[in-house]
């Protein structure tokens, strides 16, 4: 859509000002409508706590670096591990940071050029917590350690380079998400190549990532224009590629029907109604883009990313931190896909519950899928534990029972209370978190914290702690019928509320 020729630059600025004001109101209203006061207080406290940790690390980094790298000064440590730090943070950014595409679509009818809309929303996407929070560490660190360093010839250029690195990470994320939406196979291939390369670099002792990081930022600190130009060119290329992909997705929306290789499969009649419901759940997962991506990314993180973490001897060195590793190794699918277990059915939930299908059978089928996923991920990741960290094999076994017996139940408790619709066929719907709210993120705390705290309390006798976790999980698995009746009773009581919520979301 072309902008009328009579529109002046001041008109453009006025339009952008209205867009900015409108986006602010949308964000404010969304937070007020979707979150209760308790959730807002909890989120606020978590944000303040995170900011406090980052500021403390920035001002007193030397006291922390002395414990891990006693022979290196703080500035050398940061320069050497800057790239590795952003690579590690990128996975969090990828999961939580949204693409601006969905925000642009409602404004396409306005008399503003699409290129101008893309530029506005690309720029406004930079105002993200993922970009501001790292500065809470880097600015104090720059003030205390960079400006006071006798080797620093250009302190301001070093800080500018850090900002460029944050921006590069931001636009790389948007670029990869655009590639994922249009060419999922290319995305998965890139992720596998990256993780395998990082794994080889880590295990072989080459340390290429650390060498590149130290070369760039030590050179920039000394006033090296070549090193700064390399980083600036990388930032510019990634930004341009991300903008081109976003423009292309707006001008040429994907409309073709997806054709899956597997259209159906049969299960034995002896499996009864529950077996047929399990079959339908698996077909829904495979045939529809968004749930299929959840499944594939869970497999990717439980294998390739796990491989990268296990190969690093310094990471998860104790049983307390390794508890998080065990939680995701076999429970990653349940934690991600399971939170929307009934939301995936929102489009046809009314037809599902009005048929002669007992809630007990529906719940049992979904529990079988979640518990079965724990077994599948356990088998896939077991060789990695045996090869890299054989001392954690008992932990892996213990968390198989814990995830199958406890994690799945906690996730189902949240899923059975969800009444927000999910469009599983929406183009570009991967990780747009439709159907999610703050309670879904906060629910991770009561899910992950108990095993971590339990292993912390049992740090002197970790073997006994693992036996305890496995026992709790095994007992819960034996009580599956009891849990099934409990969730079925809750679904029956909330049937009309869920139908109404799913219907509103669909409309």
Rounded distance, CA 182 to CA 60, Å?
45
What is the band of 409 on the pLDDT scale with cuts at 50, 70, 90?
very high
Residues 53 and 193 in one domain: yes
Domain-embedded: residue 183: yes
The model's pLDDT over 223-282, given as tens digits with 9 standing for 90+, comes to 888 889 999 999 999 999 998 888 887 877 654 444 445 567 777 777 788 888 888 888
pLDDT above 90 for 485: yes
Residue 484 shares a structural domain with residue 452: yes
Asked if 125 and 183 sit in the same domain, the reply is yes
Per-residue pLDDT tens for 332-369?
Answer: 888 888 888 888 888 888 877 778 788 899 999 999 99
Domain boundary pick from 193, 222, 251: 251
Q: How does residue 419 score in pLDDT terms, banded at 50, 70 and 90?
A: confident
> Of 251, 282, 301, at which residue does a domain stop?
251
Residues 52 and 108 in one domain: yes
Residue 396 belongs to a domain: yes
Identify the pLDDT of residue 500: 82
At residue 428 the predicted structure's pLDDT band, cuts being 50, 70 and 90, is: very low
Q: What is the mean pLDDT of residues 26-50?
A: 67
**Which residues contact residue 87 at a Cβ distance below 8 angstroms, ignoring those fewer than 6 apart?**
198, 209
Task: Assess if residue 26 is contained within a domain.
Answer: yes
The length of the chain in residues reads 507
Q: Looking at the structure, tell me whether residues 96 and 215 fall in a common domain.
A: yes
Least confident of 300-314, 334-348, 448-462: 300-314
Contact of 428 with 359, CB cutoff 8 Å? no
How many domains does the structure of the chain reveal? Answer: 2
Kindly state whether residue 246 falls inside one of the protein's structural domains: yes
| Residue 436 and residue 393 share a domain | yes
Q: Per-residue b/e over 6-40, b at no fewer than 16 CB within 10 Å?
A: eeeeeeeeebbeebeeeeeeeeeeeeeeebeeebe
pLDDT (tens digit per residue) in 212-228: 888 888 888 888 888 89
Give 463-468's long-range contacts (Cβ < 8 A, gap of 24+). Answer: 463/394, 465/319, 466/319, 466/394, 466/395, 466/397, 466/398, 467/398
Q: Which domain holds residue 330?
A: 272-506
Pair (205, 285) in one structural domain:
no
| DSSP notation for 195-216 | HHHHHHHHHHT--HHHHHHHHH
Q: Are residues 278 and 242 in the same domain?
A: no
Q: Is residue 257 part of a domain?
A: no
Per-residue pLDDT tens for 114-132? Answer: 888 888 888 888 888 888 8
Q: pTM of the full predicted structure?
A: 0.67
184 lies in the same domain as 298:
no
pLDDT at 182: 67
In this model, does residue 73 exceed pLDDT 60?
yes
Q: Which residues contact 138 (CB under 8 A, 6 or more apart)?
A: 58, 159, 162
Mean pLDDT in residue range 388-398: 88
Is the pLDDT at 444 greater than 90? The verdict is no
Check pLDDT > 50 for residue 3: no
Distance CA 326, CA 329 (A): 5
> How far apart (Å, rounded) are the C-alpha atoms in residues 367 and 422?
20
pLDDT exceeds cutoff 60 at 183: yes
Same domain, 72 and 210: yes
Q: Is residue 72 part of a domain?
A: yes
In a domain, 261, yes or no: no
Q: Give yes or no: residues 393 and 468 share one domain.
A: yes
- The answer on 354 and 206 residing in a single domain is no
Residue 379, number of CB atoms within 10 A of its CB? 11
In the chain, % of residues over pLDDT 70:
77
Q: What is the DSSP letter of 258?
A: P
Q: Would residue 370 count as lying in a domain? A: yes
């Amino acid at each position: 859509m072309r902008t009328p020729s009579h529109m002046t630059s001041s008109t453009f600025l006025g339009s952008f000002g209205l867009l900015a004001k409108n986006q602010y109101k949308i964000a404010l209203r969304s937070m007020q409508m979707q979150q209760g006061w308790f959730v807002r207080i909890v989120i606020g406290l978590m944000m303040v706590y995170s900011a406090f940790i980052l500021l403390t690390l920035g001002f007193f980094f030397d006291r922390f670096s002395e414990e891990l790298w006693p022979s290196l000064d703080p500035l050398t440590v940061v320069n050497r591990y800057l790239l590795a730090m952003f690579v590690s943070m990128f996975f969090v950014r990828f999961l939580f940071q949204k693409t601006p595409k969905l925000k642009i679509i409602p404004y396409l009818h306005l008399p503003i050029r699409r290129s101008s809309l893309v530029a506005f929303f690309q720029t406004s996407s930079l105002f993200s917590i993922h970009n501001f929070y790292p500065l809470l560490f880097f600015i104090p660190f720059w003030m205390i350690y960079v400006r006071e360093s006798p080797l620093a010839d250009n302190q301001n250029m070093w800080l500018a380079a850090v900002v460029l690195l944050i921006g590069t990470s931001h636009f790389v994320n948007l670029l990869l998400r655009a590639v994922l939406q249009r060419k999922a196979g290319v995305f998965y291939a890139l992720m596998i190549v990256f993780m395998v390369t990082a794994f080889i670099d880590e295990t072989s002792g080459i340390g290429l990532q650390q060498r590149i990081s130290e070369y760039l930022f030590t050179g920039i600190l000394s006033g090296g224009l070549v090193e700064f130009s390399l980083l600036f060119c990388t930032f510019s290329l990634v930004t341009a590629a991300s903008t081109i992909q976003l423009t292309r997705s707006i001008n040429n929306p994907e409309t073709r029907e997806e054709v899956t290789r597997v259209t159906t499969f049969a299960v034995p009649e002896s499996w009864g109604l529950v077996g047929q419901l399990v079959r339908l759940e698996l077909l829904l997962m495979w045939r529809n883009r968004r749930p299929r991506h959840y499944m594939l990314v869970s497999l990717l993180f439980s294998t390739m990313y796990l491989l990268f973490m296990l190969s690093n001897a310094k990471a998860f060195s104790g049983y307390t931190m390794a508890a998080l590793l065990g939680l995701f190794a076999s429970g990653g699918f349940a934690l991600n896909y399971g939170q929307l277990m009934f939301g995936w059915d929102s489009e046809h939930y009314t037809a599902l519950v009005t048929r002669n299908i007992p809630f007990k059978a529906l719940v049992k089928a979904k529990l079988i899928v979640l518990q079965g996923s724990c077994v599948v991920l356990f088998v896939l990741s077991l060789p990695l534990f045996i090869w890299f960290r054989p001392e954690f094999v008992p932990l892996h076994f213990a968390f198989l029972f814990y995830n199958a017996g406890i994690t799945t139940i906690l996730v189902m408790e949240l899923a059975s209370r969800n009444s927000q619709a999910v469009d599983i066929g929406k183009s570009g719907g991967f990780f747009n978190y439709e159907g999610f709210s703050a309670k879904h993120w906060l629910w991770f705390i009561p899910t992950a914290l108990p095993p971590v705290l339990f292993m912390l309390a049992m740090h002197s006798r970790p073997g006994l702690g693992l036996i305890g976790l496995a026992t709790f999980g095994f007992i819960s698995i034996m009580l599956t019928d009891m849990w099934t009746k409990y969730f079925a009773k809750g679904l029956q009581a909330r049937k009309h509320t869920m139908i109404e919520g799913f219907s509103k979301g669909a409309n």
